[in-house]
Amino acid sequence: MIDIDSIKYPHLDRLLLLYPNPEIVLGKEIYWTIKEDGSNIGAYLDGEGQVQLRSRNQTKASEDFYRAFSESGESEGIYDLLFDAQTWGDEYVVFGELCRKGRSPTGMETHDRDKFIVFDIWSTKANRFMNYTQVHQHCWHFGLPCVELIGACNVATRDALFEFKDQMLTAALERGKEGVVGKIWDETPWNCGEGAGTKRGIVYFKEKHDTPKLEKIPRLDVPGVVTLPMLPESEISGAIEKAYADLGAEFFEVRKAMPLVARYVAEECKQHNCASPKNLHTAYLARVQDLREVSE
């Protein structure tokens, strides 16, 4: 039986607010879909083979949502999809936007009937969300509406990323929609050690018309090369201090200290998605000088 408590749709930040910075999506294949204006609902089969619904924050949606879902015309197709998954040894949670009849929450749309539009499918067997192609295929085979894909990009610069984001918002506005959702299904291969295979993760973000366009940060642009921000001085100093704490007196021996300093700085760069500083040796020597002056 599916554990619906553990399967909750992720919170979506704006592109500019992605942690640790928007540059984490550079060089990745980004799919841009329409953001529908309704309520986030997840449909799944319980232990008795009945379709149950969860909302974004509650494991069981209200009875009003059950009624709207039943009247949407998509409930039978959703059941067939969920039942078919079980026959193949899997269990799905089908996430979609439940758009109620009448005026939408933002007021941008008016729906002539209750609708359920699929935008994601969670596979319990794979322990991940399916990519857009897989979701679209399932929707096509079971006659279900699938959220519209309006663009895709793979860019190396921050400026190009935000420029394309504005294009996608324009395309959404032309369709009378409230915004867009950017999705990345990252499948990074690695071939070292016993667990060689593919690392899989997702990055989702949203952009809407009613949010302000924040000022873009000036940056150096090298075409075709992802340019990351430099690691802050405070993080460099912290890495150097970690090496000093580990080495003690041996910290003053550059051959022993610099490899450890470089390793700790590299760890900080990875954690903060920043570029490695070019003056690391200089920073190390400056700290050595400070420590020697204190001891004299």
Q: What is the pLDDT of residues 11-36, one digit of tens each?
A: 899 998 898 899 999 999 999 999 99
Q: What is the pLDDT of residue 199?
A: 47
Q: To the nearest whole number, what is the mean pLDDT of the chain?
A: 88
CA distances from 266 to 190, 239, 270, 274 (A): 19, 9, 6, 9
Burial of 120 (0-12, 13-18, 19+ CB in 10 A): buried
Give me the residue label for tokens 């369709």. Answer: 175
Query: Is the confidence at residue 196, as pLDDT, over 60?
Result: no
Q: What is the pLDDT of residue 291?
A: 84
State mean pLDDT over 208-215: 71
Element (H, E) at 246: helix 233-247
Give me the residue label for tokens 């001891």. Answer: 295
Question: Taking Cα atoms as reference points, which of 20, 18, 42 lies closest to residue 30?
Answer: 18
Instruction: Supply the pTM of this predicted model.
Output: 0.77
State mean pLDDT over 114-132: 95
Query: Is the confidence at residue 72, as pLDDT, over 70?
Result: yes
Q: What is the pLDDT of residue 245?
A: 87
* Residue 47 or 226, more confident: 47
Query: Is the confidence at residue 141, as pLDDT, over 70?
Result: yes
Q: What is the pLDDT of residue 215?
A: 36
Q: What is the pLDDT of residue 139?
A: 98
Q: What is the pLDDT of residue 221?
A: 61
Q: What is the pLDDT of residue 140?
A: 98
Percent of the chain, pLDDT > 70?
91
Query: Is the confidence at residue 271, as pLDDT, over 80?
Result: yes
Pick the CATH number of 4-208 from 3.30.2130.10, 3.90.226.10, 1.20.140.10, 3.30.470.30: 3.30.470.30
Q: For 224-256, what is each residue's pLDDT tens digit? A: 878 889 999 889 999 998 998 888 889 999 999
State mean pLDDT over 32-53: 94
Q: For 88-112, what is each residue's pLDDT tens digit? A: 999 999 999 999 889 887 788 888 9
Give the pLDDT band (50/70/90) at residue 197. Answer: very low
Check if the beta carbon of residue 239 is closer than 8 Å to that of residue 267.
yes
**Residue 152: strand pairing partners:** 31
Q: What is the pLDDT of residue 261?
A: 93
Query: Is the confidence at residue 77, as pLDDT, over 60?
Result: yes
How many whole angstroms separate alpha carbon 2 and alpha carbon 124? Answer: 8
Give the pLDDT band (50/70/90) at residue 200. Answer: low
Q: Which residues contact 18 (CB under 8 A, 6 or more apart)?
A: 24, 25, 203, 205
